[in-house]
Structure 1
């Protein structure tokens, strides 16, 4: 088979070159947007007991572990009456966002000590715990929408967004960026290696084309 392929590429080198170029362009067109269609899931094994328990709690009781945290700080201290009123408004505001199931905070839980920082008199920081509902893709969509509004100054308070949802989003974004960088670096290097090994543009493009089509077909399945 390989001998026949070699004879074909030798006698039809121009045709093979053209076909390789066309198929390479088609592969790029078909696979170029595949990253945006991939799921952001996979961080949690749905078969584990903890995952099943969380699913039951979410389905039957409408509750689950918070996956978004706001760190709220103010120099006046979190026990200052004005800060407390602003913190309560902030909690109510993010709790009313589409896709947010629940929001609780130091101020709405009766000044729970576990949610207060120790810096300054009475603590100058406290946490708002938020539960974004939906699967991992929906959580990321909600986070992308609301993060710019809360990773700033809200209700006069300095707020910073963190938590599991933010960590998962950063992992996904970094993976996508690294994947694109790897493709941009490896393709020209691989082409040079193929040119050196096969000593010809046509012979070098054939394995690159096959590899590219294989990768695209795997990603699209």
Structure 2
């Protein structure tokens, strides 16, 4: 199995995919697969405005294997004013043959109402244990059961992050795979990056970009 393919598959093996991250859609080049490319040096680029988040995301992926290199080492403030062609030449001179990019497409908040729930307690009690309750006024009855009888509803806010992952072949100078993932309730950026990569690899195995095993 090719080095890059094995590396991506190993990401899935290391830990299970987070239930908070899932693939929304994907596309692969019908003529080229990731497994066929035999990448030897891959640039990892997180396209986010925050430099700290960029470094966390790129470092997380690059830590998996030496084949990955962080983009901030090569494309940073010192190369900001260069043209697209000049930046591409830097990568070619450094012998990169592949690029993986992660881009935040959107961030959406949704508020939903979670209705209240009743417990199994009810006015007649269980098996006649509380038969004396029938003689009580409502105040006494409610005072006995209210702590366990009803859990009130509440509003819950969920934040969803849509992230686009692209894989480019610099040898072919084209996009060979792209997919969008949705992650909810993100609390740790590093773990979310892991989950995105796991979801991406799972989808590539499904669409034939990587061997199924």
TM-score w.r.t. structure 1 length? 0.22
Identify, as 1 or 2, the structure richer in strand.
2
Identify, as 1 or 2, the structure richer in helix.
1
TM-score w.r.t. structure 2 length? 0.22
